[in-house]
Every structure is written in structure tokens, then in C-alpha cells.
Amino acid sequence: MPEPLLDELMQIALRVAQGAARTLDQYSAAHLKQVGTKSSPTDMVSEADRASEEYIFHELRSSRPEDSVEGEEGASYQGSSGISWVADPLDGTTNFLYSIPAYSVSLAALSNGEPVVGVVTNPVTAETWWAGRGRGAWVNGVRCQVAEGRSQLSTALVATGFGYQAEQRARQASILPRLLPTVRDIRRFGSAALDLCWVACGRYDAYYEAELNAWDWAAGRLICEEAGGEVTLLPGNILLATTPSLSNPLTNLLAGR
């Protein structure tokens, strides 16, 4: 990709993601008037999600009208430029509604289906992660690097997440009995985008989750890879992000080998 185009996409992604985060700041979970559900009673969506997505969609269409755009809450446009954007306007809606400070805006630009720019921002902590293909990963201007030095399976801190359907949760929970006795511990915070960024900056050693959508992982995947991590899609549609030395043992463990 030409460097000037990558520069442009990066500047737009940072501006739009941080603007969407400021949109979320205008909403208080205690005073939301519209909270609904989607795929199940536990899969919630609020007016804050929709306002953030509306902002993202409008800004992207104004800045690059020929690009495609897809948002989690249904905003969609099919462009002709070869660049597409995927956005999660509020990743961690349940955390937002319960005032748990672990939710984010996630925005990625893709070329030929592969992320080339990714931005994830947490409005509560004022942390913004970003990466450009071949340019490394950064958080608030500090270079990100996965925690390779401490990566052994027995001492690995591993994050995961769960879906919203009962059958889906049962499948995902069936992995825990073989994983939990083998690693240091498990964490579950409820924002896939943040989980990937926390692997990138060394807060976790690995993260896995099944049955995610592109808007959940596109930005975080690029950030993690540019920080020296490995992100792979395993059988069963399990996304695994990890330090290189943990990739094989965790792949085998998650596969039941």
C-alpha cells in the first residue's frame, strides 16, 4: 500500500475512533432511555452504541465516500475503492451499562480483506492503541510489545470471552476444564478489542475466543501482530492471540491434543 494512503487512513481512523469515544462520553449508563436486546436477552444494545456508530458512519462517508463501511449495529455501505472499514462502536456494552471501565471503540481499515490500520480506544482510561501494517503498534505514543520474556504455559495469564447464546456458552465453557489447570489463571473482561490490545502491550500472555465477528477483532488483531504477537484462527472458529512461544502449546491445548 502506498505510504501516503496509509498515512491518510491512519489519521482518519484515529480521529474517528476518538471522536466516537467522545460521543460515548456524552451518555451516562444510569440515564439511558433506550436499552434493547439483539440475539438473546443478554446481548444488549443501547442508544449509546447507535449514536457512536452513527458518528463513525457519517465521518467515514464524509472523509472517504468511495470506501465500504460495516458496523456492528447495522450501518453498511458498499463502496468501490477497495478499502473497507469495520467498526464496533461500543465493544463491551454490558460493561458500559454496568459502569465497568473496560469498554472500547474499535475501528479498522482493510485492504483486500486484511487489516492495514487499526485503532482501539478506551474512553474511561483515555488509552488509545493504534497500528499500521509494517509500522508497529503503539499505545498513547509508547511502543507496544508482547510479553515474550515470561511466556511459559504454566505461568501464562490467559484471557477469554463468551457469546450470548446458551448453546454457544456451553461450547465455549467446555474448553475451560482442560485449560484452567494448565495455565496461571483465566481473565474475562468482556471486550475482545481490549483483550487483543492487552496481549499486545503485555498485560496478558494470550487471549482466545470462539465465534467472533470481524468488527470484534480486526483492529486488535493488527495491533497484536504489530506488537510481535501471533493471531491465528483455529478449528471451531477460535481466534487465538498469543506470544510466539505460547502459540504451539496453546493451539494444541485448545484443540484438545
pLDDT in tens, 210-252: 889 999 999 999 999 999 999 999 988 899 999 999 999 999 9
pLDDT band at 171 (very low <50, low <70, confident <90, very high): confident
Q: How many CA atoms lie within 13 A of 223 on its CB side?
A: 33
Which residue range forms the structural domain that includes residue 64?
3-143
Cell matching residue 1: 500500500
| Residue 113 and residue 164 in one domain | no
Distance CA 146, CA 224 (A): 8
Q: What is each CA distance from 70 to 86, 176, 207, 218, in whole angstroms?
A: 5, 32, 25, 12
Going by C-alpha positions, the residue among 214, 165, 218, 160 that lies closest to residue 190 is 160
* Domain CATH for 163: 3.40.190.80
**Do 86 and 131 lie in a common domain?**
yes
Number of domains in the chain: 2
124 and 211 belong to one structural domain: no
If asked whether residues 128 and 53 sit together in one domain, one would say yes
Q: Does residue 153 sit in the same domain as residue 68?
A: no
Same domain, yes or no, for 51 and 111?
yes
Residue 41 — very low, low, confident or very high, per pLDDT cuts 50/70/90?
Answer: very low
* Last-in-domain residue among 80, 112, 143: 143
